Amino acid sequence: MVAKSMEQLVSLCKRRGFIFQNSDIYGGLQGVYDYGPLGVELKNNLKAAWWRSMVYERDDIEGLDSAILTNQKVLHYSGHEDTFSDPMTDCRKCKGRFRADHIKDGKCPNCGSVDLTDPRPFNLMFKTNIGPVDDGANFGYLRPETAQAIFTQFKNVVDSTSRKLPFGIAQIGKSFRNEITPRNFIFRVREFEQAELEYFVAPGEDEKWHEIWKEERVKWWENQGLKRENINIYTTPKNDLAHYAKACYDIEYQFPHGMEELEGIANRTDYDLGNHTKAQDEMNLTSNCHKNPDSTQKLCISDDNNKWVIPFVIEPSMGVDRGVLAVMTEAYTEEDLGEGNSRIVLKLKKHLAPIKVAVIPLKKNNEQIMSKCKEIKNNLLKLGIGRVALENTGNIGKAYRRHDEVGTPLCITVDFETIEQYPESVTIRDRDTMKQTRVNVADLKDYLRNYFAE
| pLDDT at residue 199, rounded to an integer | 98
Predicted confidence pLDDT, tens digits, the chain (454 residues): 445 689 999 999 999 999 999 999 999 999 999 999 999 999 999 999 999 999 999 999 999 999 999 999 998 888 888 877 778 898 999 988 888 887 888 999 889 999 999 888 878 899 999 988 777 778 999 999 999 999 999 999 999 999 999 999 999 999 999 988 888 999 999 999 999 999 999 999 999 999 999 999 999 999 999 999 999 999 999 998 988 899 999 999 999 999 999 999 999 999 999 889 876 554 555 555 556 778 888 888 988 888 889 999 999 999 999 999 999 999 999 998 888 888 999 999 999 999 999 999 998 878 999 999 999 999 999 999 999 999 887 789 999 999 999 999 999 999 998 989 889 999 999 999 999 999 999 999 999 999 999 8
| pLDDT at residue 1, rounded to an integer | 47
Cα gap 100→106, rounded to integer Å: 9
* Number of Cα atoms under 13 Å in the Cβ half of residue 213: 31
What are the φ and ψ backbone dihedral angles of 267, each rounded to 5 degrees?
-95, 100
| pLDDT at residue 102, rounded to an integer | 79
Pick left, alpha or beta for residue 389 (phi over 0 → left; psi -120 to 50 → alpha; otherwise beta). Answer: beta
Pick left, alpha or beta for residue 138 (phi over 0 → left; psi -120 to 50 → alpha; otherwise beta). Answer: beta
Q: Is 329 exposed, middle or buried (0-12, 13-18, 19+ CB in 10 A)?
A: buried
Cα gap 103→90, rounded to integer Å: 11
* Number of Cα atoms under 13 Å in the Cβ half of residue 28: 10
| pLDDT at residue 293, rounded to an integer | 78
| pLDDT at residue 2, rounded to an integer | 47
What are the φ and ψ backbone dihedral angles of 365, each rounded to 5 degrees?
60, 20
Q: Is 258 exposed, middle or buried (0-12, 13-18, 19+ CB in 10 A)?
A: exposed
Residue 125, C-beta contacts closer than 8 angstroms, at least 6 positions apart: 75, 80, 81, 84, 141, 142, 144, 176, 177, 178
Pairing between β-strand 33-35 and β-strand 61-64 as defined by DSSP bridges: unpaired
Distances (CA, A) of 127 to 76, 130, 138, 190: 13, 10, 11, 13
- Given a contact cutoff of 8 angstroms between Cβ atoms, the answer to whether 267 and 207 are in contact is yes
Cα gap 222→230, rounded to integer Å: 10
